[in-house]
Structure 1
Amino acid sequence: MNAPTTPATVFTVSGGSAHVHDLIGIGLGPFNLGLAALADPISELDCLFLEGRDRFDWHPGMMLDDATLQVPFMADLVTMADPTSRFSFLNFLKQNGRIYPFYIRESFLPHRREYNQYCQWVAERLDSVRFGQQVTSVEHDGETYVVTTATGERHLTRRLVLGTGTSPRVPECAATAVAGDGPAIHSAEYLARKDELVDRRSITVVGSGQSAAEVYLDLLTDQPDHDYQLAWLTRSPRFFSMEYTKLTLELTSPEYSAYFQALPADKRDRLLKSQQSLYKGISGDTIDAIHEALYTRSVGQGGGGVAGTTLLTNTEVRGVTGTEDGYHLALRHVEQEEDYEMDTEALVLATGYRAGIPAFLEPVRDRLRLDENGRYAASSTFSVDHTDREIWVQNGEEHTHGFVAPDLGMGAYRSSVILAAILGREPYPVEKRVAFQEFGVPDRFKIQPGKIQPSELQTEENR
């Protein structure tokens, strides 16, 4: 554990007096906002959180009216670390006269718009948060990190927490199409460009997760008003639902994360691919709503299909070529190993997000601990510098800590761990074990040195 932090000091830099923060958080998504809220009552910690946007706005391109979180309201910014915090979701409801309507609603899942409003409410109450501060470079002057913003401001700090999040992932075969002028977009832009999409004669959605399902359902609902052809393509063998069984949810526990971290890197990468239904699936409610909409549409049509829409599984997009009217898709049926094709005037790629190392860190790249693939090599405390005392990452460690990295429910836990590493004490108790099951081989069952191995035992027949 690191030594406790000391109060922020003032010293001379380049002929002037400069304030040195204990911690600067770069980027303000839910995770760094949660860290800011949990750090707020800690008097000995001087923090500053910088965000390039003018205000907090979480996935505005997917802020659909009926969309809910896939985690309960307790997975807010602070509750799992400090249920008494004034920054809790329940306090937000109480202060806005909405706690009884939320109670009567009897649903644990807040609307996504409501969660966004809650985060904005928290951000407005934190003096440590600064918007309109796009970070352009981070340097080290031998004693402190120098954080420079697009406005020309320079901020000094002993420590950094990187909360820059992830960026939209666009398949290489579609990169040229997305970069063009036509309506080929990532789902992150969906609402901003929806009007452009629905004016086309055909729209194709590509993806297998919650975003793809929500976009398809929204377009399916609006289809009668616009009369476009609508298709949904997924590479998965079926439209996977998110798995919510209780023992499976224990894989979000601190002890499973520790077990995952101890595995070799290649095994972690393979395991993540096999666990996609645990965090990249579709909520059962959304799947049911899609089926109900299709069923309702099918009444009176006869047969099992629905005119005007196509759903295809096992379909991989191999190429996207611009045409005079839109795009030509080169497709491959994974199971049947058969190539086929489709034309569409508009394309929505709900193909997820990927983490990366921001360009502004290039001047201090040598201070970062990276793996052989150039990714953050995060420690058990989420530090990514060689000393484990200076730089931490939020939601950039999926490959080291497992699929819980983007899970809102683990945000307060990770913030608690980071604060404990900085302060040398636990301002918020950090749970060590929460699961009933055990991962790996329990110590009490391990074979002791010198003890006969089961494989060495011989039966009477094979002597």
Structure 2
Amino acid sequence: MKIHDFAAIGLGPFNLGLACLTEDVDDLDGVFLESQADFSWHPGMMLPDATLQVPFMADLVTMADPASRFSFLTHLKETGRLYSFYIRENFYPLRAEYDAYCRWAASRVSGVKFGRHVERIEHDEHTYVITASGPSGVSETYRARRLVLGTGTQPFVPSVLDGVGGPLVHTADYLPAKAALQTKESITIIGSGQSAAEVYLDLLEEIDTFGYRLNWVTRSPRFFPMEYTKLTLEMTSPEYVRHFHALPSAQRDRLLREQRSLYKGISGDLIDAIYDALYRKQVAGPVPTRLLTCTELVGGRWGLGGQYTLDLRHTELDESMPLSTEGLVLATGYRADVPAFLAPLADRIRWDDRGRYDVASSYTIDHENCEIFVQNAEEHTHGLAAPDLGMGAHRNSIIINQLAGREVYPVEQRIAFQEFGIPSDLARALTTTEVRS
């Protein structure tokens, strides 16, 4: 049986970027196993006007190899849309446009096998043995010397709604559920990130047509804009990732909570569009919508009357209030989990004290630091750069260089104007002062 140099599990944008960047590396042979029948990126949120929150250069390959034949600009050229994109003068591709680009790239790389559901991974004396069910349900076996885990994150449902039942919808499934939601007399959105704002605006625009009441609830004190200033963007730099990784685990967790507005807020343009839509509709009379801030969801029930009763608490006033709604949309984000197929490898993987991957600076999680890599499962160790599409090519460069045992792609070590730790010259000066005293 053929032994691959590596097997990549999951084919989201990050592992697809890995496939593109290794396609022309002759001494690396990888196989990419994806459970879906074809490439699909957030289909439930493919709203017509939604754009990426990163510029087009944050494609699959450009930040590692600007001359790659798999770049977004090459895709535009081949599909006859390059000049249209140029005249548009907007660096931010439409989300549907990015999905089409990824599909284009996936159709041009070898080694990708769709419809393969990985069921179990074991390790024999020399290789990882991957058991997967194929499109026809027949079991298939693959062998590889190393693994790259890109299984992504899963929709998160708050524990206070565990087992609540009823037709609640996570934003991951919004579009397929939209028509049913709009038959309800009332709809409530929980959450205040970009996805929540996009769903709110989409439903607000058609509120007059369908006549529902629309609520938007967040426990945040306001609807935060995502900070997108240039010095803040330097926090996705290699230097900041190294600085963040070197901090104690508890400090990293605290910082991530404090940094939510840096990567989990709403784009300023979208906030303005929501306000303008509210203002425009208000001219004709009261708008049947309500925006609740400082409001935490603490419980909920699905009743026989076909509606939810949500238990809400105002965090500043510490007072409770019930809210009834027929439709419920959870914009509560995503969480990384550990796939069940890794159970046989538990002893080969490093874990932190909270049962998460203990990810090395090189994106490895095995005890030897050379066999099992992760993509976008390291937010708790590498910070806000982990889910950033713009850092995907950088991380892939690091992983590929380790897989090949040589520098295939140069990796920038310093790109920021800021210093995130103590500069070496100041550290030396401090030591000298201490000695003299």
Give the Cα separation in 2 of the matches to 1:192 and 1:150: 27
Name the count of aligned residue pairs.
431
Q: Please point out which of 243, 254, 259 is paired with 2:227.
A: 243
**Among 110, 113, 116, the residue aligned to 2:99:** 116
CA deviation map 1:44-76 (0-9, x unaligned): 001100000000010000000110000000000
Amino acid across the alignment from 1:451: T
Pairing 1:42–2:25 present: yes
Name the aligned partner's letter for residue 163 of structure 2. T
Partner of 1:292: helix, strand, or coil? Answer: helix
Residue 314 (structure 1) aligned to one of 294, 300, 318: 294
Instruction: State the Cα distance separating 1:424 from its structure 2 match.
Output: 2.1
Counterpart of 1:196 in structure 2 is 180
Aligned to 1:343, what secondary structure does the other structure show? strand
SS at match of 1:237: coil
Determine the C-alpha separation between the residues in 1 that align with 2:315 and 2:389.
33
Q: Secondary structure at the match of 1:291?
A: helix
- Secondary structure of residue in 1 paired with 2:20: helix
Q: Secondary structure at the match of 2:56?
A: coil
**What residue is the counterpart of 1:329 in the other structure?**
310
How far did 1:192 drift? 1.0
1:183, 1:196 within 8 Å by CA — same for their partners in 2?
A: no
The answer on whether the counterparts of 2:278 and 2:287 sit within 8 Å (CA) in structure 1 is no
> Within 1, Cα distance between the matches of 2:406 and 2:361?
16
Residue number in structure 2 paired with 1:14: none
Match in the other structure for 1:405: 386
Answering whether residue 247 of structure 2 is matched by residue 267 of structure 1, we say no
Aligned residue in 2 for 1:253: 237
- Mapped to 1, the partners of 2:272 and 2:255 lie a distance apart of 28
- The TM-score, its normalising length taken from structure 1, stands at 0.92
Q: CA deviation at 1:174?
A: 1.4
Deviations along 1:238-287, one digit per CA (max 9) or x if unpaired, are 00001011101100000000000000000000000000001100011110
2:158 alignment partner in structure 1: 171
Q: Percent identity?
A: 58
> Residues 276-315 of structure 1, C-alpha deviation per residue, up to 9 Å, x if partnerless?
00110001111011000000011143xxxx4310001101
**Aligned residues of 2:298 and 2:313 also touching (Cα < 8 A):** yes
1:22 counterpart SS class:
strand
Report the AA paired with residue 292 of structure 1.
D
Distance in 2, Cα, partners of 1:426 & 1:354: 33
Please say if residues 183 and 197 of structure 1, whose CA atoms lie closer than 8 Å, have aligned partners that are also in contact. no
Following the alignment from structure 2 to structure 1, what is the Cα–Cα distance between the partners of residues 81 and 401? 34
Give the SS at the match of 1:54: coil
Structure 1 residue corresponding to 2:141, chosen from 131, 135, 154: 154
Gap regions ≥5 residues in structure 2:
none
Q: Could you report, residue by residue, the CA deviation over 1:397-445 in whole angstroms, capped at 9, with x for unpaired residues?
A: 0000001100000000000000111222221110000000101111111
Q: CA RMSD, aligned part only?
A: 1.2
Q: Which residue does 2:411 correspond to in 1?
A: 430
Task: Choose 1 or 2 for highest CA Rg.
Answer: 1
In the other structure, the counterpart of 2:423 is: 442
Write out aligned runs for 1:62-461 (5 A).
Answer: 62-151=45-134, 152-177=139-164, 180=165, 182-301=166-285, 306-323=286-303, 324-446=305-427, 447-449=429-431, 451-452=433-434
Which residue is equivalent to 1:13? none
SS in 2 for 1:148: strand
The answer (yes or no) to whether the contact 1:204–1:347 under 8 Å persists in 2 is yes
Partners in 2 of 1:69 and 1:255 — Cα distance?
24
Q: Secondary structure at the match of 1:242?
A: coil
Contact 1:58–1:116 (Cα < 8 Å) also in 2: yes
- Letter of the 2:265 counterpart: G
Q: Structure 2 length as normaliser, TM-score? A: 0.97
Poorly superposed stretches of 4+, deviation over 4 Å: none
